[in-house]
Amino acid sequence: MGVITLSYAVFAQDNSKGIEYYEAGLFDFAKTYFEQQKNTNADIQSEKYYYLGLISIAENTDSASYFFEKSVLANIKSPWGYIGKGLIYLSESNEKEATTAFKKAESLGKKNAAVPVNIAKAYFSQKNKDKAKEFIAKAKKLNPNYSGIYLTEGDFLMEENLVGDAMGKYEQAQYFNTTDKLSTLKLARMYVKMNRNDLALDQLNSIFATDANNIPATIVFGEIKNAEGKFKEAITAFEKVIAAGNAPINIYERYAQALYFDKQYAKSLEQTVYCLKQNPGNLTTIRINAYNNYELGNYQETLSRLDNLMSIANPKNIIYLDYITYGDVLTKVTPKTVTSKNSQDTIDYVVARRKITESYEKAIQLRPEIADTYKQFATSYYSFFEYAKAIPLYEKYFELNPNYLTMDMFTYSDASLNTAKIHLAEYSRNKDKFTPEQLANNKANFMTYINKGVEANNKIIERAPDLYLGYYGKARINALVDDYERIGNGKVPGIAKESFEEAITKMLEQNQDQKLNNNIIEGYNYLSAYYISNGDVKNTIDVNQKILLVDANNERAAYVLQQLNAPRTPAAPKTNKK
């Protein structure tokens, strides 16, 4: 489904729906309603132009005077245009002309309490609270039961952040007009700010009971459902608002957000593209566009959007997920090599690695309590073969999240194994050059990572005793200790023997699809080396025959058996050694 852009025609009897939109701050809806108002009644036309003038002021355009003049011309006996002209005079500090205009309006609406209420609003908008109160008092004299009086008093109190008093006024408005939707809507919004969505929904449902498609209430409903994580309900609400026609761009933006969080990434991306054409500097839409592109695998576009976001946003407005996504996507697009240093020597590579590190560090600074941040940072280091840097980050992740995935612990054990290999290689190259102190330091560092790996795999075995991974990982770690001893004295002590035997048993049980063949052969090769080192010909033959049962073309096993003048299988006759 493409971007939703429908329209509607208004065949209304009065301006009440447009006024409702205006008072709810939905100026685009209000403008469309008033512009398509077909009722030719002079007073209704005059009132329409008055509100179009107010919308012009709210949107900071220069058409207010034009509309107020049209209001007067539409019906010179209507008060609305004169109230608007008075407001203009107030904004120009022309108190005398303003007073004249307001008196004219009062003379034309002597029995209409809405007239002094609107004059009060004009004075309040220019910070003249005393005059505003004076005209509110006049309205109460004319008609103390007019709900608009209390609605306006509530708005004044909200401007002064007197929330409790404002709520009382909105409730008064409801009392005097049980069908008053504006006061009900404003109460709902206040309950949302107070984190009382239950009470807000009660208010909204009272509106829906008589007006199921009420747009302002539907918007608030969608916002509530979005905040509650009930994204499908939010999406339905926003689609209803958009389908009504001429929805403001912020509704499309919220719609795009709800679609993203509902994992409808392609549809959300389409909406964000539309929104950014209308409002290219909206940070929220830029980030949702980036997040969608990331989820859809469009990594270069993700990077471009996030670079844009980082360049235009105040650092205070860059959020945790921006940094995480930036680190993740830069990790994905940055080339990696384990065998060559060429890519690491380039300026682009160095800059990218610095940005990755900074992004994760800033994410941790913003939300140090989120376990997955440490995991993602660790995974990034792991992907660049910086295993020693990944290890403490994995450890922090496990500390914060005792319910970690078993595979995460296995990756940690593999990082420990690879770090131990680095110290093993260092020992192999330098054992004859190292001082006793250097040898001791090398052995201590080597065993630190060996112990981390063994402990990690013991935890895997404890958590998943029927799974081969823990036994296999532990065997590979212990095999490094055998290698260390072999380099030192030529002997394989068999530290990993028991672990590999357990691992092979588990892997044979779980190898129905033959995907573990290489792992099984790795275990048999270790046992073969151990038996050869210890002069155990019988078991050397046995284990290499087992290798050929797994891989009949294994050249290494065939060569060992040939050298021992042993059959490829126990049942086959011996062959002469060539």
| Per-chain mean pLDDT for the chain | 92
Q: Give residue for tokens 């008075």.
A: 86
* Per-residue pLDDT, 346: 84
CA atoms within 13 A on the CB side of 371: 13
**Average confidence (pLDDT) over 313-317:** 93
Q: Please write the tens of the pLDDT for every residue from 490-520.
A: 888 899 999 999 999 999 999 999 999 999 9
Pick the CATH number of 16-244 from 3.20.20.70, 1.25.40.10, 1.10.3190.10, 3.20.20.370: 1.25.40.10
Q: Which residue has the tokens 């608002």?
A: 241
For CA atoms 463, 466, 467, 473, the dihedral sign is positive
What gap in Å lies between CA 231 and CA 314, rounded to an integer? 29
Residues 264-272, mean pLDDT to the nearest whole number: 97
Q: Which of 38-42, 108-112, 377-381, 465-469 comes out lowest in average pLDDT?
A: 38-42
> To the nearest whole percent, how much of the chain has pLDDT over 90?
85
Can you give the pLDDT at residue 222? 96
Cα–Cα distance measured from residue 452 to residue 516, given in angstroms and rounded to the nearest whole number:
25
271-302 tens-digit pLDDT = 999 999 999 999 999 999 999 999 999 999 99
Q: What is the pLDDT of residues 191-230, one digit of tens each?
A: 999 999 999 999 999 999 999 999 999 999 999 999 999 9
Let me know: does 154 contact 186? Beta carbons within 8 Å: yes
CA 502 to chain centre: 43
Between the CA atoms of 420, 421, 422 and 427, what dihedral angle is there, to the nearest 10 degrees?
90
pLDDT of 132 above 90? yes
Residue partners of 357: CB distance under 8 A and separation at least 6: none
DSSP string, 129-195: HHHHHHHHHHHHHH-TT-HHHHHHHHHHHHHTT-HHHHHHHHHHHHHH-TT-HHHHHHHHHHHHHTT
Please tell me the predicted confidence (pLDDT) of residue 191.
94
Q: Which two tokens stand for residue 294?
A: 């990331």
460 close to 469: Cβ distance less than 8 angstroms: yes
Token pair belonging to 521:
């052969």
Q: How far apart are CA 542 and CA 6, in angstroms?
A: 77
> Which residue type, as a one-letter code, is found at position 71?
S
CA pair distance 21, 31, nearest whole angstrom = 9
> Would you state the pLDDT for residue 252?
95
Average pLDDT over residues 135-147: 95
Read off the tokens for 373. Answer: 């941040």
Spatial separation of the C-alpha atoms in residues 82 and 211, rounded to whole Å: 33
Q: How confident is the model at residue 61 (pLDDT cuts 50, 70, 90)?
A: confident
Question: How far is CA 24 from each of CA 121, 184, 189, 353, rounded to the nearest angstrom?
Answer: 15, 11, 10, 49
Distances (CA, A) of 169 to 1, 153, 176, 187, 205: 44, 6, 11, 10, 20
Task: Name 300's Cβ contacts closer than 8 Å, sequence gap at least 6.
Answer: 333
User: Which 3 state secondary structure label does DSSP give 484?
Assistant: helix
Percentage of the chain exceeding pLDDT 70: 95
**Cα separation of 120 and 133, whole Å?**
7
| CA–CA distance, 427 with 483 (Å, rounded to integer) | 11
Q: Using an 8 Å Cβ cutoff, are 319 and 309 in contact? A: no
| Residue pLDDT, tens place only, 442-464 | 999 999 999 999 999 999 999 99
11 confidence band (pLDDT: 50, 70, 90) = very low
For residue 176, count CB atoms less than 10 angstroms from its CB and return exposed for 0-12, middle for 13-18, buried for 19 or more.
Answer: middle
Tens digits of residue pLDDT in 22-48: 999 899 899 988 988 888 889 999 999
Q: How far apart are CA 257 and CA 260, in angstroms?
A: 5
Among 295, 304, 315, smallest CA distance to 366 is for 315
Instruction: List for the chain the helix, strand, coil content (%; round to 5).
Output: 75, 0, 25
Residue 422 DSSP SS3: helix
Domain boundaries, the chain: 16-244
C-alpha 137: how far from its chain's center? 50
> How confident is the model over 562-576, as pLDDT tens digits?
999 999 988 655 555
DSSP 3-state of 342 = coil
d(CA 465, CA 471): 9
State yes or no: pLDDT of 395 exceeds 70: yes
* Residue 13 pLDDT: 66
Q: Give the whole-angstrom CA distance, residue 268 versus residue 235.
A: 11
